[in-house]
Amino acid sequence: MNLRRTTTVRRSLTMAAITTGLVLAMSGCGGSDGGGEAKEPSASKAASEDKPQESSEPSASADKVLAEVKGENGITLTVTSAARDTGGFVTVAGTVTNGTGKAWVPVEWRGDERELMANGGSIAGASLVDQNGKKKYLVLRDTEGRCLCTRFTGGVRNGQSTDWYAQFPAPPEGTSEVTFQVGSMPPAPIEISEGE
């Protein structure tokens, strides 16, 4: 009986090794045949995805800062864009930098609503305030209560900067000046640009 099980296990392991080898061989063949033009953009794309997070993103953000606020014992929130999309949304984006001296999880940024608790450390509790129109716009969410925003999975390490975004319903067409607010951070006046 044990011999039969041992033989079955060996066959299974052999089949798994052969399958893995075939998969690796096929993926190696896919990159080496005449698809040089199609392969290069994806390789360039992968390289550009790695680099913006480390080097070019912070410098690009520094050039177009709409607002920057400091609070919460060393947290710096920067807003780098607020664009009105054609679908009736406003997407606000920027960076958050942790200067607290320890790891930081933005628990209070997720909002007070029970529906938003499942979003964990996120920017789900952010809002846009149109003071002239006397309206407050909350972060959009899907039918299951997940925010259309960044979730800071694992928090933000000390000294680290990370990108964030949040989508809101768009204020009326004539409204371009709003205030961005999240948690106990000071309000950040920003201007909405027209999307492409």
Domain boundary among 10, 36, 56: 56
Residues 181 and 105 in one domain: yes
- Domain region containing 18: 2-56
Residues 81 and 127 in one domain: yes
Residues 69 and 108 in one domain: yes
Cα–Cα distance measured from residue 8 to residue 13, given in angstroms and rounded to the nearest whole number? 9
End-to-end, the C-alpha distance of the chain in Å comes to 69
Q: How many CA atoms lie within 13 A of 85 on its CB side?
A: 10
Residues 78 and 125 in one domain: yes
Taken in order 55, 56, 60, 63, is the CA torsion positive or negative? positive
Is the full-model pTM beyond 0.75? Answer: no
Q: How many domains does the chain fold into?
A: 2
Domain boundary among 56, 77, 95: 56
Residues 34 and 15 in one domain: yes
Q: Of 6-15, 118-127, 162-171, give the lowest mean pLDDT range.
A: 6-15
Closest residue by Cα to residue 115 from 90, 138, 147, 149: 147
Residue with tokens 């997407």: 91
pLDDT in tens, 54-71: 333 333 344 589 999 998
Residues 71 and 156 in one domain: yes
Residue 111 has a pLDDT of 73
For residue 89, the tally of other CB atoms under 10 A from its CB is 15
Residues 88 and 166 in one domain: yes
Domain boundary among 56, 79, 99: 56
Q: How many CA atoms lie within 13 A of 21 on its CB side?
A: 6
Cα–Cα distance measured from residue 196 to residue 81, given in angstroms and rounded to the nearest whole number? 13
The mean pLDDT value of the chain amounts to: 74
Residues 71 and 138 in one domain: yes
DSSP class of residue 121 equals: S
Residue 31 has a pLDDT of 44
Residues 27 and 124 in one domain: no
Residues 32 and 99 in one domain: no
